[in-house]
Amino acid sequence: MATESAPKQKKTCHLGWHITSRCNLSCKHCLRRTPGQATKDLGREECLAILESFLQFTESNDRSASIQFSGGNPLLRDDFPELLEKAAKAKRRGIVKRIQILGNPETLDAATISHLKECDIDDITISMDGLEETNDRMRGKGNFKAALNGIRNLMKAGVPTSMKFTLVRDNAEELKEVIKLALGEGINHIGIGHLILAGGAIEERNRRMSPMEYRDYLISMMSFLDTLPEEHAGFRRSFLSRNSLYPLLFHELGRLEEYRQMASGKPNRREGGPGGVMFVVWSDGEVVPRREMQRQGYVPGASFQEIYDSSPLIKLMEDKEYIRKLSRESMDNHVKCSVCPVREFCSHGMAGISGYRPYFAPNRDCWCC
């Protein structure tokens, strides 16, 4: 008897849309402080045209689409409910698979939360960078209480919610308490991001941990995660497997086999899937493949299809096999990485582009490099 083959996996198409440059906060480490960033917002009709162009690209190329609305704070736009509803209708038709929002809690009133629920969003991410004193020093007075109140109202309404934590020297120890708070509120996903040295974070660069400081932090987090109740085993596994430096630490502590079992036989989290295209769109309509790369066009003056067809860089970036091959070649050419005992769990990250040639470098946080 013939067995049914699994349905062919579609290529993906992601729209990372910074729909406004406006924000109600002035975080010191904000990436929007980068010189040359867009300060102009497009109007309602232009934004509707951008969304329609993306949906047309998705349908005509038979791709699985996702949309992330961010800014600034997208909730500040008067027409955001209309844009979100248009995306939600596309989701109901099966064109869009995932809708995510990065927003600030101060603008989460009851009507907004109700609309997010109606639009069946897949996630709204709220930032929390420490306990009250530390968080408010980084993000503005009153933000911690607003974030906690917003999270509770979102969870009560049944809106999928996650948290984001920007890691620096002076808030690292508070992450454990933030995790406890999140788990207590029913949130089981927290994105942990190192300070990205761009925008306002350039002036904050001395707050970024050195590789050896980062190693000590990871060891501390391992000990903490080991104490979590069994009911949070999934969170622990997810937390450990998302960071590519934990395998090295497990190896150094003689626990690599434990990590292998936890990773369920999938050592390279970057593998799998047929690849996909990413469009990052700034508030003025500028389109780039990734935030640090050169402009490939403007929407809605040109359609996403036209930009895609004319951009070798975008096509290169969606070729996962080619990117992975270049990354592995970079590891082979790096003396320490070529003999690293956990190289199967790691890969070099893209460090830049010259013309259409990507260049890769080891993880800057790795204490072996």
Query: Please, is 332 exposed, middle or buried when counting C-beta atoms within 10 Å of its C-beta (0-12, 13-18, 19+)?
Result: exposed
Highest mean pLDDT among 143-147, 196-200, 357-361: 143-147
Q: Among candidates 201, 162, 154, which has minimal Cα distance to 179?
A: 162
Average pLDDT over residues 225-245: 92
Given a cut of 90, whether residue 135 has pLDDT beyond it is yes
Could you give the 3-state DSSP secondary structure of residue 22? coil
Q: How high does pLDDT run on average in the chain?
A: 90
Q: Which residues, other chains included, contact 151 with Cβ-Cβ below 8 Å and sequence gap of 6+?
A: 105, 126, 161, 163, 185, 187
Per-residue pLDDT at 33 exceeds 90: no
Asked if residue 4 has pLDDT above 60, the reply is: no
Contact indicator for 369, 362 with CB cutoff of 8 Å: yes
Please give the sequence-ordered ranges of beta strands (E in DSSP) within 3-50, or none if there are none: 12-18
Confidence at residue 130, expressed as pLDDT on a 0 to 100 scale: 96
Determine the pLDDT at residue 284.
Answer: 95
Nearest to 290 by CA among 250, 342, 349, 331: 349
CA distances to 75, 283, 301 from 286, rounded to whole Å, are 21, 7, 10
Confidence band (pLDDT; 50, 70, 90) for 186?
A: very high
Walk me through the domains of the chain, giving residue ranges and CATH numbers: 12-204+277-318 (3.20.20.70), 322-358 (no CATH)
Q: 312-342, pLDDT tens digit by residue?
A: 999 999 998 999 999 999 999 999 999 999 9
pLDDT band at 353 (very low <50, low <70, confident <90, very high): confident
> What is the per-residue pLDDT across 271-294, written as a single tens digit (0 to 9) for each?
445 678 999 999 999 999 987 788
Task: Report pLDDT for 351.
Answer: 86
Q: Are 84 and 119 in contact (CB under 8 A)?
A: yes
d(CA 88, CA 72): 21
Residue 268 confidence class, pLDDT cut points 50, 70, 90:
very low
| pLDDT level of residue 205 (50, 70, 90 thresholds) | confident
For residue 199, name the pLDDT band (cuts at 50, 70, 90): low
pLDDT digits over 35-53, tens only? 667 778 999 999 999 999 9
